[in-house]
Amino acid sequence: MRQACLVGLLLVACGSPAEPQDAGTDAPDAGPPPVDAGPRILPDAGPPPAWLTDERILVPGVGVTNRTCTGGMVCPHSENTDLIHFDGGIVLVHRTAISQVLNHNCSLRFYRSDDGGASYQLMSFINGPTTATYPALGDRDLRDPSLFILPDGRLAFKALVRTETNSTRDTGVDTITVEATSTDGGHTWSQLTPIAPPTWSFWRVRQHAGVYYSAAYEDGDLSVRLFSSTDGETWTMGPLVYGVSEDTPLETELVFMPSGRLLALVRVDGNSTEYLGNAGRLRTIVCWASAPYDTFDCPQVLDGVRLDGPMAFFHGTRLFVIARKHYIETADRKRTTLYEIGGTLEGGPLTIIDHGDFPSAGDTSYAGAVDVDADHVAVTWYSSDLVEDAPWVRAIFGPTDIRAATIDFTQIDAPHP
C-alpha cells in the first residue's frame, strides 16, 4: 500500500509523534471480539446495491480515540483486509494504526468466522516491529497482509515492514517483505521472517500447479517483477512484469486462467499530475505470461479505470475485481467498487464493467473475498466515514472502519455478449 503523504502535490510532514511501545508478537490475550456498530449510510447515496446484503461495520474506527495500536488494541485507522478459507472456517486479517502514515505503533489482527462470515472472533495480533522485538529490523511499520496456506497445511501470511520514512512513491522506505506461519490456524504465530530482497514489496500470494507466485513492486514504484516459491517460504526473483518507471507501477494483481495463462493487472499512478487519481489519465496495464512464466507481454491498457489495491476472484467462470474507484474531480472522492473483467479471458483483449459501489468513502478499498456457497461471497473492505465523504488526501490521516457484507450473485446480471 502506498504511504500517501500529499496535500495537492506537496509533501507534508507525515510523521506522527512518538507512540507507546508495543507488546511484541505473541498474543496470549486476543482481547474483546469486534463490535458491530451498524451501518452509516451517506444521506444522498440511497441503500447499498441489490447485490450486497448484511452490510455492516465489523471493526469501528470512526469515533475511536485510543492511540495505542498494539497489544490487542484497536486504533482509529483500520485497513488492509484479506480473507481465506481455512480448516472449515474463514480467517480475516487487517491492519490497525493511527493513520496510513508509516509508524511502528500498529498491528495486524486475525479473526475467525465459523458461520460463513456472519460474525468474526478475534484470535490473535502481531505488533509492528521495534528495536526491542526485532533488533535487525528496528522500528518499522507493518502493513499489507496476504493470507495463504503452505503445502504442509500451515496457515501463513506475507506482509510489508517499512521504515518510518516520509516520502512519495514509496521512496526510501527500505521495504522488507516478511512472512509468518501458524500451526494452530492463526491463534499463535512464528516470528516475522524476511523472504525477499530489500526494497521489494509483495502484493498478493497466489498458488498454481503447486507453485506460489507474487508480483512485487520496487521501492520508488519503479518496476514490477514476478517472484515464485515451491514451498511458500523460500522465494526467487523472476522476470520483469512491467518496468515503465514514469508510469509509477505498483500493486499488481495476479490471476491464473483455467488454461494456466497468467494475467497481471498492474496499478499505475502515472505522473505528478495524475498521482492522486483525480486528474489526468486513469489507467490499468494488462500483462500476460504463459508457463513457465519467464516473460511478460503488456499489450493493453484499461483506460478510465485505475485499480488501486485490487482483489480479483473467479465466481464460476466470471472474473471480478474489487478495487478503489477514482473520480476526475477536485473533490477527490474515492469508492470501493465491484468490477467485472470481460472480453477474452485467455490472452485478451479485456473489457471492464462497473457493477456499482460498496458503501465507502474517503480512504477505502483493500478488500478480501471468499466463496460462501454457489451464489454468495463473503467480503470485507475498509472505508472512512460515509457521511463526511472526505477527500482521499485528507482521509488517509483520519479514522476508517472495517466493513463486511455478503455479495449475492443472483442479483448481478450476466454481461451482454
Instruction: Report the CATH number that the domain containing residue 253 is assigned in CATH.
Output: 2.120.10.10
Report d(CA 111, CA 389) in Å as an integer: 28
Domain annotation covers residue 417: no
Q: Residue 290: its pLDDT value, please? A: 98
Domain annotation covers residue 125: yes
Domain annotation covers residue 416: no
H helices, E strands: number in the chain: 1, 26
263, β-bridge pairs: 255, 288
Domain annotation covers residue 28: no
CB 251 within 8 A of CB 309: yes
Beta-carbon contacts of residue 336 (< 8 Å; ≥ 6 apart): 322, 323, 324, 325, 357, 358, 360, 364, 365, 367, 381, 383
User: pLDDT truncated to tens, each residue of the chain (417 aa)?
Assistant: 554 444 333 333 233 333 333 333 334 333 344 444 344 344 345 578 999 999 999 999 999 999 999 999 999 999 999 999 999 999 999 999 999 999 999 999 999 999 999 999 999 999 999 999 999 999 999 999 999 999 999 999 999 999 998 877 888 899 999 999 999 999 999 999 999 999 999 999 999 999 999 999 999 999 999 999 999 999 999 999 999 999 999 999 999 999 999 999 999 999 999 999 999 999 999 999 999 999 999 999 999 999 999 999 999 999 999 999 999 999 999 999 999 999 999 999 999 999 999 999 999 999 999 999 999 999 999 999 999 999 999 999 999 999 999 999 999 988 765
Q: Measure Cα distances from 179 to 119, 144, 176, 196 in Å.
A: 27, 11, 10, 10
Cell matching residue 27: 498474543
- How many domains would you assign to the chain? 1
> 299-324 burial, b if ≥16 CB within 10 A, otherwise e?
eeebeebbbbbbbbbebeeebbbbbb
Domain annotation covers residue 217: yes
Q: Measure Cα distances from 196 to 136, 172, 175 in Å.
A: 15, 17, 10
Residue with cell 508495543: 22
Domain annotation covers residue 108: yes
Residue whose C-alpha is closest to residue 111's, from 147, 140, 75:
147
Residue whose C-alpha is closest to residue 288's, from 277, 280, 279, 297:
297
Rg of the chain over all Cα atoms, to the nearest angstrom: 19
242, β-bridge pairs: 224
CB 227 within 8 A of CB 216: yes
User: Could you tell me the residue range of the domain that residue 158 belongs to?
Assistant: 6-15+35-411
Q: What is the pTM of this model?
A: 0.91
Residue with cell 506522527: 16
